[in-house]
């Protein structure tokens, strides 16, 4: 069963605007971690932000924040003040006891 769902294949945003990338997950384990990674066209995987299942506050890292709604099992990534360099594929991932389980990804395109 798919455990990470990213329903937006592609998103388009203007520079300096904020954008939200959606992620829902499914797990019965009370302890898990949620991660977002960025994959530019050059192919590397860049860690952006982490949210733990027991964290009371939403995670923030610079222009990245995570809108964590545990009851809805959602962990949406918010990018504020988009930049051209934010154009990339973004993956939501979850970790229970083994490796990461990834969603299919969302392609973000930022235009000037």
Q: Does 64 bind other proteins (CB under 8 A)?
A: no
Distance, in Å, from the CA atom of 19 to the CA atom of 100, rounded to the nearest integer, reads: 24
Q: Does 43 bind other proteins (CB under 8 A)?
A: yes
Minimum Å distance from CB 55 to other proteins?
9
Strands 33-39 and 46-52, how do they pair?
antiparallel
Helix, strand, or coil (residue 88):
strand
Between 56 and 112, name the residue whose CB sits nearer to other proteins. 56
Minimum Å distance from CB 2 to other proteins?
10
Distance, in Å, from the CA atom of 99 to the CA atom of 90, rounded to the nearest integer, reads: 18
Among 8, 11, 22, 33, indicate the residue that binds other proteins (CB under 8 A). Answer: 33
5: buried, middle or exposed (CB in 10 Å: 19+, 13-18, 0-12)?
Answer: middle
Between 78 and 100, name the residue whose CB sits nearer to other proteins. 100
Residues 6+ apart with CB under 8 A from 96: 27, 29, 31, 32
DSSP state of 6: -
Q: Does 102 bind other proteins (CB under 8 A)?
A: yes
Among 45, 62, 83, 84, indicate the residue that binds other proteins (CB under 8 A). Answer: 45
- For other proteins, the binding residues (CB under 8 A) are 31-33, 35, 37, 43-47, 50, 52, 91, 93, 95-105
């Amino acid at each position: 069963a798919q455990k990470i769902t990213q329903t937006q294949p592609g998103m388009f945003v203007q520079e300096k605007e904020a954008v939200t990338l959606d992620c829902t997950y499914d797990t019965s384990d009370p302890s898990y971690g949620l991660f977002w990674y960025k994959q530019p066209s050059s192919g590397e995987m860049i860690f952006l932000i982490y949210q733990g299942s027991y964290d009371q506050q939403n995670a923030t890292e610079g222009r990245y924040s995570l809108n964590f709604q545990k009851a809805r099992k959602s962990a949406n990534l918010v990018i504020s003040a988009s930049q051209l360099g934010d154009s990339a594929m973004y993956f939501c991932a979850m970790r229970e006891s083994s490796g990461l389980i990834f969603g299919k990804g969302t392609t973000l395109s930022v235009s000037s």
